[in-house]
Structure formats: structure tokens, C-alpha cells
């Protein structure tokens, strides 16, 4: 495992009122030979909006949009749109995020690949599939499984599963994984980015919170044809707050991921650090899979 030595890759920009204080949890996709980030930003008004940046290698950012690319648009989002995750289905990226109003709940929208490449922020309709339910950390699998779309979401404190025929209406259907008493993930858990398909299952990175509210990242493998079944769950976390930028900030001792990308034999994971800046870390896939044997 190696953190990028140039971390943090993204910091707040004082002169941009919407992202002057914190930039953190970020969707991460690989498209058109570049890595694209849609990151949560907070500024003067403490409302979360999404910013956009991109990079050839995921580490050195050379494009950054000066304005928010996604903002609250209705009372259900009055305090912000947080923690985006993106999954390619057909030629559209489906984005799940946390809509924060009187409660926080899952929001879903989408954007075409072409619009991302042209930096034309033409998002589709926004939907809120679990009305009046406190719910967040939703990730969608990149293909149908057994004829249905599949989502993992979080009814505190567990990772749960939901299914859909059309990506619009979702039926919650049970718990997939619970916190483990006495461990680093004892208090609550939630998916990081969308699951990644490997030969023998789905690799899911997730965050676990302990009694001291420290956020770490761990990994689990879900059954390829029945993703509600956990085949393996690594004992130890793969990333925990250690560097100063992960320990000190808006919320101390947090690494929180909303996406990763497989580049050759490496998994590049992006993460919000201390809810203040964004870092990346690279893991050999072999190194991760060894955690399950």
C-alpha cells in the first residue's frame, strides 16, 4: 500500500466561496483515458455542493472547474448534496448521493459520458427512492445481476441491499453486513465506492467506524451471482488515519472513500481526509486478495 507522496491532491480554494473551507468525499471514475473526480465541497454557507476535477493518472490534478457542477435544487437538499458515488450503466453514469434536508436520504441522478467529457453539466431528473427514510451511502453495481439492478445502502448501522427493474423504483430487501462488536468497524459501516467485479466475486471497499468515531477503510468480497452473500471480510482495515492531514481537520481521524479505480494490477482509492482535503492511495490487487486467504 502506498499513499501518493503528493497528498493531498485537492485542497479547498480560499477564493471560491463555495469550496473555501473543505473539499472531501469524492466520486471517482475512469473515462476517456483520464480519472475524473466529483467531490463534495463546503464553503462560507456550510452547504455541500459538488466540484469537478480531473487528472491523467488520478494523482496529479490538471483540470479543476471553478464553479460547482451540482448543487441543491429542492428543500430535500436544502443543507446540501453530499458524498457522491458514480456507476456507468450503458452510456450514462448513475450518481447516488446523500440529500440532506430535514432528514438525510439517498438521491439518484445521472449524466451521460459525453456530457462529462464535454464538461456540460446536464444532469437528469433527481429521484429519492426511499422517501422519509434516514439512509445514505448508496452504491449501485455496474450491471444487472439475475435480471435486476442492485444497490447497497445504509440503514444505520448496517449495509443493506435493494433491487430495481428500472433504476428508478427500488425495493429494500435486507441486511448484507453488520458492524463487528469490539473491532475497528464496531459502531457502523457503509459502502465506499461501487463494487468492482473480479473473477471470483465483487470487491467492496467499505468504511467502518469505531467507538471513538475513527473512520477506517476495509474490504469484503460479495458473491458474484448473489451479492447479498458475503464470501469474505478482511480482519484488518486497509487504510486508517495516520498522516496529519487524515488526523487533523473539520472532523479528526477520518478516511472516507466514495470511489476507486482499477489501474492495471493496482486499485487506486480516493478518499476524503479529516473531512477537509482529498488524498489517494494505491494498493496491489494481489495484496488485497491475500487478506482473504
Residues that bind ligand BMA (CB under 6 A): 25, 82-83, 215, 251, 254, 256, 272, 275
How many C-beta atoms lie closer than 10 Å to residue 232's C-beta? 15
**Among 113, 114, 112, 110, CA closest to 124:** 110
CA distance 121 to 93: 12
* Closer by beta carbon to ligand BMA, 252 or else 284: 252
∠ CA 88-92-94, nearest 5°, is 65
**Owner of C-alpha cell 435544487:** 73
User: In this structure, are residues 93 and 121 in contact, taking their beta carbons and an 8 Å threshold?
Assistant: no
71 within 8 A of 84, measured Cβ to Cβ = no
Report the nearest approach of ligand BMA to the CB of residue 33 (Å): 30
- C-alpha dihedral (279, 37, 82, 142), degrees to nearest 10: -110
Q: Residue 68 or residue 228: which is nearer to ligand BMA going by CB? A: 68
> Least CB distance from residue 275 to ligand BMA, whole Å?
5
**CB of residue 252 to ligand BMA, shortest distance in Å:** 9
Q: Which is nearer to ligand BMA, 9 or 145 (CB)?
A: 9
The residue (of 18 and 149) whose beta carbon lies closer to ligand BMA is: 18
* Residue whose grid cell is 439492478: 149
Query: Least CB distance from residue 29 to ligand BMA, whole Å?
Result: 19
Residue (149 or 184) nearer to ligand BMA, CB: 184
Beta strand pairing call for 92-100 and 80-89:
antiparallel
CB of residue 24 to ligand BMA, shortest distance in Å: 6
Cβ of residue 223: shortest distance to ligand BMA, in angstroms?
28
Between 24 and 202, CB nearer to ligand BMA: 24
Please name the residue ranges forming H helices in the chain. Answer: 113-117, 244-247, 285-289
Amino acid at each position: 500500500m502506498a499513499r501518493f507522496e503528493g497528498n493531498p491532491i485537492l485542497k479547498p480554494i480560499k477564493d471560491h466561496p463555495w469550496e473555501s473551507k473543505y473539499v472531501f468525499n469524492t466520486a471517482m471514475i475512469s473515462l476517456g483515458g483520464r480519472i475524473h473526480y466529483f467531490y463534495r465541497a463546503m464553503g462560507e454557507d456550510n452547504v455541500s455542493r459538488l466540484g469537478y476535477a480531473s487528472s491523467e493518472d488520478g494523482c496529479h490534478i490538471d483540470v479543476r472547474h471553478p464553479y460547482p457542477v451540482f448543487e441543491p435544487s429542492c428543500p430535500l437538499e436544502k443543507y446540501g448534496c453530499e458524498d457522491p458515488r458514480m456507476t456507468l450503466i450503458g452510456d450514462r453514469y448513475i450518481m447516488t448521493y446523500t440529500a440532506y434536508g430535514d432528514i438525510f436520504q439517498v438521491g439518484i441522478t445521472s449524466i451521460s459520458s459525453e456530457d462529462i467529457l464535454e464538461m456540460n453539466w446536464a444532469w437528469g431528473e433527481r429521484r429519492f427512492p426511499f422517501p422519509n427514510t434516514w439512509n445514505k451511502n448508496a452504491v449501485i453495481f455496474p450491471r444487472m445481476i439475475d435480471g435486476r439492478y442492485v444497490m447497497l445502502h445504509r440503514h444505520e448501522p448496517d449495509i443493506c441491499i435493494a433491487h430495481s427493474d428500472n433504476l428508478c423504483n427500488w425495493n429494500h430487501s435486507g441486511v448484507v453486513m453488520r458492524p463487528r462488536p469490539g473491532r475497528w468497524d464496531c459502531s457502523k459501516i457503509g459502502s465506499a465506492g461501487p463494487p468492482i467485479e473480479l473473477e471470483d466475486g465483487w470487491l467492496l471497499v467499505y468504511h467502518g467506524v469505531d467507538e471513538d468515531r475513527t473512520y477506517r477503510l476495509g474490504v469484503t468480497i460479495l458473491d458474484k451471482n448473489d451479492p447479498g452473500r458475503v464470501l469474505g471480510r478482511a480482519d484488518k482495515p486497509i487504510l486508517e488515519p495516520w498522516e496529519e492531514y487524515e488526523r487533523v481537520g473539520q472532523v479528526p481521524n477520518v478516511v472516507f472513500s466514495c470511489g476507486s479505480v482499477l489501474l492495471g494490477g493496482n486499485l487506486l482509492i480516493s478518499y476524503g481526509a479529516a473531512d477537509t482535503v482529498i488524498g489517494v492511495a494505491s494498493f496491489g490487487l494481489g495484496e488485497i486478495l491475500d487478506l482473504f486467504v
